[in-house]
Structure 1
Amino acid sequence: MSDDATVRTEREGAVATVVIDRPAARNALDEATKVALRDALEAVAADDAVRAVVLTGAGSAFCVGQDLGEHAAALEADAATAFDTVDEHYAPIVRALVGMAKPVVAAVEGACVGAGLGLALACDLRVLAADAKLGTAFSGIGLTCDSGLSATLVRAVGHARAAELVLLGAMFSPEEAVAWGVAGRVVESGTARAEAERLAARLAAGPTAAYAESKRLLDLAAGGASVEESLAAESAAQHRLGLTRDHQCAVAAFLAKERPTFTGS
């Protein structure tokens, strides 16, 4: 386990769990936490021994977004620079999650709002506890989306529902999240992290090179790629994967009626 004040990284085999650790503040994101989270995600992304990642929050909340106390002080000091954090912290954190060449699973307990929702949606999969409370929150304080939410929310629920969620600021339940396509499963309160880590362990034992290619293809399509562009990207990806040991050994294992072992090579 590694610690950096308000963010810690725990390892279990090939799974790294990155924990936002400000439970008394419901894991609100002050500058120190954002820097630590950015650095932790970049570190696990660069670690070849890590094959899957879980992102979660300590205590009773996943993340309530920006620390508004710190934000108020930044506004008072200089409103013109108060939002530099969007480029300096939020964007790199989301890029680290979306661009990570390994699966990332969000384990969501309790409140997941504002930038917290943005972080969860930047992960590949989400496990929601039954007590999770989700919402965009930005319009309630006179702001618009950051942390990639304007893109990831539309991709998850479609434009019409995303507009309602952003403009009206309504909270939504885990069951609604599953029905709308935000998440795949709801679990008993208090078990989201354990379920996410089980899921991550399963992914870590899989073809991580293929997962990385699939992430890129899905992101390309979600970004509006044409069918022709997707076909070309799929062809290039399959050619790259065809040269991997994972693919070649898996084909041999299938023909031998054996279970394949994936190494990411």
Structure 2
Amino acid sequence: MSYEAIRVELDASTHVATLTLNRPDKLNSFTRAMHREVASALDKVEGANARALILTGAGRAFCAGQDLADLDFTPGAMTDLGALIEEHFNPLVKKLQSLPMPVIAAVNGTAAGAGANLALACDIVLATKSASFIQAFVKIGLVPDSGGTWFLPQRVGMARALGLAITGERLGAEKAESWGLIWQAVDDADLPSAATHLATQLAQQPTRAIVATRQAMRQSVTHTLEQQLDLERDLQRDLGNSHDYMEGVQAFMEKRAPRFQGR
């Protein structure tokens, strides 16, 4: 399928896919049509031989969330926001969280509303030092969605999460890094190369182990220690039968670099 609101690239030599939100004149805000394109592209990436994904935006913004111009504000026929979220934003967050590969958000500018939380749904967030994260929902009388009320308290604690959510204040990337909201803030000119370098590095690692590590850390939020120990045991048993485990051990014994295949 051809895309109008996004771009998708796959580097066959590195197994790195890049999905670029491409409505720069609208700060890459989402319409229903754009949601359908992103969903199709993520299915395509998953079906290809990709082992890492970069999600970024074109122009001066990463994503400004929902495009309000795509909603109906006619009295008596207003867009049901719950239905919109259930049909589009929630499946997108779940998809990003469940892709069988590491996902890097390369935040190139403003990430506001659902756009901020889509970045947080990725495994690792890199951002330009000029970028900012804004929980803009309160400014139009709404609650953070797209996982915002789940991601924020986990990453920055309840006090900071509530502060960001109920004031809607802008959080700069460098402070976001110092708070633990994102992985790293980099110089603006360095973001593309930093994201590509990291994605290429991760694509060469044992993909199943990365995905299992992600799973274990996320499930720890609701697990007791005993449940987590059991999960670690089960995941380790499964990975112990993988090609990449055997390759890693063999490479260690032969004192050479491992050649992981993601299986």
TM-score (normalizing by structure 1): 0.94
The one of 236, 245, 248 equivalent to 1:247 is 245
Who is 1:197 aligned against? 196
Compared CA separation, residues 188 and 234, structure 1 to 2 (3 A):
same
Who is 1:36 aligned against? 37
Q: Equivalents in 2 of 1:4, 1:227: separation in Å? A: 46
The Cα shift of 1:81 comes to 2.5
Q: Deviations over 1:196-215 (max 9, x none)?
A: 12100100000001011111
SS of alignment partner, residue 223 of structure 2: coil
Compared CA separation, residues 146 and 103, structure 1 to 2 (3 A):
same
Q: Equivalents in 1 of 2:74, 2:209: separation in Å? A: 45
Who is 1:180 aligned against? 179
Q: Any residues of structure 2 matched to 1:108-123 within 5 Å, and which?
A: 108-123=107-122
Who is 2:236 aligned against? 238
The Cα shift of 1:42 comes to 2.7
Who is 2:260 aligned against? 262
Count of matched residue positions in the alignment of Structure 1 and Structure 2: 261
The Cα shift of 1:140 comes to 0.5
SS of alignment partner, residue 8 of structure 2: strand
The Cα shift of 1:80 comes to 6.1
* Letter aligned with residue 107 of structure 1: A
The answer as to whether partners of 1:75 and 1:82 remain within 8 angstroms in 2 is no
TM-score (normalizing by structure 2): 0.95
The Cα shift of 1:109 comes to 1.1
Who is 2:65 aligned against? 65
Q: Any residues of structure 2 matched to 1:64-213 within 5 Å, and which?
A: 64-71=64-71, 73-74=72-73, 76=75, 78-79=77-78, 81-213=80-212
The answer as to whether partners of 1:115 and 1:147 remain within 8 angstroms in 2 is yes
The Cα shift of 1:134 comes to 1.1
Q: Equivalents in 2 of 1:41, 1:76: separation in Å? A: 36
Q: Deviations over 1:134-185 (max 9, x none)?
A: 1110001000011111111122111121011101111111111001111121
Q: Equivalents in 2 of 1:179, 1:246: separation in Å? A: 34
Q: Equivalents in 2 of 1:77, 1:131: separation in Å? A: 41
Q: Equivalents in 2 of 1:75, 1:196: separation in Å? A: 42
The answer as to whether partners of 2:128 and 2:191 remain within 8 angstroms in 1 is yes
Q: Equivalents in 2 of 1:142, 1:232: separation in Å? A: 43
Who is 2:22 aligned against? 21
The Cα shift of 1:39 comes to 2.0
Identity among equivalent positions (%) equals 34
The Cα shift of 1:194 comes to 2.5
Runs of 5+ consecutive residues of structure 2 not aligned to the other structure: none
Compared CA separation, residues 30 and 190, structure 1 to 2 (3 A):
farther
